[in-house]
Chains A and B, each alone.
Chain A
Amino acid sequence: MGDIGINVPGLVAQLVCFFILFGLLTFLLYKPVRRILDERSERIRVSMEQAEQIKETMAKTEEQVKEQLDAARREGQNILAQAGQMGERLREEAREEAKQDAETIITRARTEIQRERDDAIQELRRQFADLAITAAEKVISETLDREKHRRLIEEVLEQAPKGQG
């Protein structure tokens, strides 16, 4: 074995070298790298989970917002409908009131007109009596005293049918 170089000290030395490197690599390379790889994969796992959560939360929030929007829209429509109804009612009331006002005015005007007419007839009748008296005076100069005459005419007029004067 001498030619090829196998000897116990050499073998032992190389074994020692192997175990030195083994220890060195274990502490300087394998453990730190394993740790960092594990840490990294853990971190990636966690952040992916977080991303998943965030996605879920976002979906939920979106759902909520949609619901709220729907509710708001419905409410708005309700309000609009109510406003329309109220407007209709107000208009109806206003029309009713106006109608009543108009009727009152017309009634009042009618009463007024009636009264005016009555007054005018009264006046006319009086003036006509005066005129008749004057004329009669002219014709039969003073045969009758004035007071008598008036009474006479009044009587005639009373006898005349009313609506013809």
Chain B
Amino acid sequence: MARIRSWWGGLGRRRRVGIIALALVVLIIVGSVLLRAPLPHVELAAEPLFGPITNTMLAALFTIIVVGAVCFAVTRKMRIVPRGLQNIVEALLEMLINFVDDTAGKEYGRKFFPVIATIFVFVIANAWLALIPGFMTIGFWHETEEGARTIWPFLRGANTDINFPLALALVSFIFVEYWGLRSQGFSRYIRKFFSVGGLFRGIGQIFRGKIRSGLGTLFSGFVDFFAGFIEAISELVRILSLTVRLFGNMTAGEILLLMMIFLIPWVVPSVFYGLELFLGFVQALIFAGLTLVFLVIAVTPREEHE
């Protein structure tokens, strides 16, 4: 070992780089020739394993167990002077707390934090744990209707099952609406989506004979009503956009990885693994961040224009 090391150290920098490059090329060729992966069969819906239990449910459960175990290990004996893992987890959580507090303010930050943080942790943990070898690759053989044989994996990242992003989006939507209602009161909050005051005022003015100003009020009332309608639609569309963004990104990333493994089994997919790590973080941040922003918008009182 020492001899190898001294030999390695004796080489010039250019030679060392050359040797590494050569080794990588050899690995790529060996992998391509000897260990071909099967062509992935893209299945958007999660594959059921045992009755209604799908592989994505198992993956979600796996994520819960891993995250729970880490948290348990960290917070079992908390020290006032943090050490090791506690330090890391505390620092990360504090970053998240600061992120939420900076956006929503101290008062709401404390209330919003648990949901935002759970969304973030769940998404990022799902994304990163799905990169563990064995996800998507170990499973049952399954005959499709066309007679092709594909693998139904035991574990598949929960983010790639549209039910999971949809569930998160629903939680986010309900949480946002709940806080909007709670902070502004029912009538104030609902007026944002359904404002007919202007219309009625306009009609009233017309009946009282003030046709000209009545028509003007009627028109602006109509605009208000339409804007409220659009507001309501956009609020609902958030569910769709949150769902599809996460689902699309994570599924595409997974398919990309499988395709790269199919094309060039060794070395090259590692680059895409790195990309997927980053993507998982970004998607978690976007989902949690958007939910936070929607919350802040919902609890911020609008200035009324009369």
Contacts and interface: CB of A to CB of B under 8 A. Distances in A.
Nearest to A22: B118
B294 interface: no
A40 interface: yes
B68 interface: yes
A5 B117 contact: no
B167 A29 contact: no
Contacts of A20: 64
A109 to B, nearest CB: 99
A33 B89 contact: yes
A25 to B, nearest CB: 5
Nearest to B94: A37
A53 to B, nearest CB: 21
Interface stretch (B7-15, B18-26, B71-79, B278-286): B71-79
Majority SS at the chain B contact face: helix
Interface in A140-165: none
B154 interface: no
Name the residue in A18, A22, A35, A40 with the highest tally of chain B Cβ atoms < 10 Å from its Cβ. A18
Given A17-B57, A26-B114, A29-B75, A36 B90 contact: yes
Contacts of A18: 118, 122, 167-168, 171
Nearest to B51: A9
B120 to A, nearest CB: 10
A15 B168 CA distance: 7
Interface string B80-97: 101000000110011001
Nearest to A11: B163
Contacts of A9: 52
B161 interface: yes
Interface in B59-77: 60-61, 63-64, 67-68, 71-72, 74-75
Nearest to B69: A28
B80 A40 contact: yes
Nearest to B75: A32
A115 to B, nearest CB: 108
A15 B44 contact: no
Interface in A1-19: 2-7, 9-11, 13-15, 17-18
B158 A14 contact: yes
Contact of A21 (B54, B64, B72, B89): B64
B161 A29 contact: no
A30 B52 CA distance: 33
A3 B168 CA distance: 20
A36 B162 contact: no
A14 B57 contact: yes
B71 A25 contact: yes
A138 B67 CA distance: 164
Contacts of A71: none
Interface in B201-256: none
B54 A10 contact: yes
Contacts of A13: 52, 54, 57, 60, 163
A35 B164 CA distance: 31
Contacts of A17: 57, 60-61, 64, 158, 164, 167
A106 to B, nearest CB: 95
A159 to B, nearest CB: 132
Contacts of B72: 28
A30 B57 contact: no
Given A5-B161, A13-B163, A33-B89, A43 B80 contact: yes
A4 B44 CA distance: 5
A49 to B, nearest CB: 17
15 contacts: A2-B45, A5-B161, A14-B158, A14-B167, A15-B170, A17-B57, A20-B64, A21-B67, A21-B118, A26-B114, A26-B118, A30-B117, A33-B89, A33-B94, A36-B82
